[in-house]
Amino acid sequence: DAGITQSPRHKVTETGTPVTLRCHQTENHRYMYWYRQDPGHGLRLIHYSYGVKDTDKGEVSDGYSVSRSKTEDFLLTLESATSSQTSVYFCAISERGIPEAFFGQGTRLTVV
Amino acid sequence: ILNVEQSPQSLHVQEGDSTNFTCSFPSSNFYALHWYRWETAKSPEALFVMTLNGDEKKKGRISATLNTKEGYSYLYIKGSQPEDSATYLCAFDTTDSWGKLQFGAGTQVVVTP
């Protein structure tokens, strides 16, 4: 299994509170991604990173920010959580020359 | 709106039967088509990555084909077993946004003994 760890695995939080999800990899892959998974939508890209301090928006980036200060860590922050951000969040990593992307086990976030 | 479409959304299969389902994707800017197997509470697991028109890949009882000109891929499961129960996701990768996979909504397969 690829060395990807997401934390926390489960979180319940209140509307309006900030939340940070962490993705940690031990594979030294350059590219990291945050996706959210909702019924009927598949996985949708929130943000991605192509290197330390290099990040860009995906298709559903509103309400989210990211940071990557080290190769191994990619943080996703919900500045002020809303109920529409209740979802399962997946981190993924990839590298040029390696065909497949590898996924973490997901974080189930519930905003009440 | 998903550019990648999977059908059917779900299917129920008797153990021992074979089945197949479809992934449709845009035929322009094609780079690769990925298939993932996803069980609830686990990580999506890569099954195949296909890049060439006409590609056929096989892993055990599961195989996939690719037609980039018409924009579709089939996944086949031969002799389904209960452990094949999962959601199968396809994802489309383009030449102009490599790595930013566009996923379909998945086909949920339930194999009953």
Q: What is the DSSP string of B19-78?
A: EEEEEE--STTEEEEEEEEE-TTS--EEEEEE-STT-EEEETTEEEEEETTTTEEEEEES
CB contact (8 A) between residue B103 and residue A43:
yes
Q: How confident is the model at residue B53 (pLDDT cuts 50, 70, 90)?
A: very high
Name the closest residue on chain B to residue A34, using Cα atoms.
B100
β partners of residue A93: A32, A102
Task: Give the distance from residue B43's alpha carbon to the nearest chain A alpha carbon, in angstroms.
Answer: 4
Contacts of B74 (CB under 8 A, 6+ apart): B20, B21, B22, B23, B64, B65
The answer to whether the Cβ–Cβ distance between A101 and B46 falls below 8 Å is yes
Nearest to A44 by CA among A34, A30, A52: A34
Task: Please report which confidence band the pLDDT of residue B1 belongs to, taking 50, 70 and 90 as the band edges.
Answer: very low
Residue B79's region, left for phi above 0, alpha for psi from -120 to 50, else beta, is left
**In this model, does residue B87 exceed pLDDT 50?**
yes
With an 8 Å Cβ cutoff, are A106 and B41 in contact? Answer: yes
CA neighbor of A11 nearest in space, from A22, A3, A2, A1: A22
- Strand B72-77 relative to strand B62-67: parallel, antiparallel, unpaired? antiparallel
Residue A29, token pair as written in the block: 């892959």
Chain B residues in contact with A44 (beta carbon < 8 A): 103
Q: Are strands A42-51 and A19-25 parallel, antiparallel or unpaired?
A: unpaired
Give residue A58's pLDDT.
94
Burial of B37 (0-12, 13-18, 19+ CB in 10 A): buried
Question: How far B55 CA lies from chain A's nearest CA (Å)?
Answer: 14
Interface test with A, best of B3, B36, B100 (most A CBs within 10 A): B100
| Residues A105/A108/B1/B5 CA torsion (nearest 10 deg) | 40
Specify the pairing of strand B5-7 against strand A98-103. Answer: unpaired
Interface probe with B: pick from A6, A36, A37, A74, most Cβ of B within 10 Å = A37
Distance of CA A6 to the CA centre of its chain: 8
Residues 6+ apart with CB under 8 A from A54: A68
- The half-sphere exposure of B57 on its side-chain side, counting CA atoms within 13 A, is 19
Give the model's pLDDT for residue A104: 96
Higher pLDDT, A36 or B41: A36
* Nearest residue on chain A to B102, alpha-carbon basis: A44
Mutate to test the interface with B, among A32, A54, A91, A103 (most CBs of B within 10 A): A103
| Cis amide bond preceding A18, omega within 30 | no
What's the rounded Cα separation, in Å, for the pair B9 and A40?
A: 9
Instruction: Identify the pLDDT of residue A27.
Output: 95
Q: Compute the average pLDDT of residues B86-90.
A: 97
The pLDDT confidence band at residue A106, using thresholds 50, 70 and 90, is very high
* Radius of gyration (C-alpha) of chain A in whole angstroms: 13
Q: Does A51 touch chain B (CB under 8 A)?
A: no
Chain A residue closest in CA terms to B46: A100
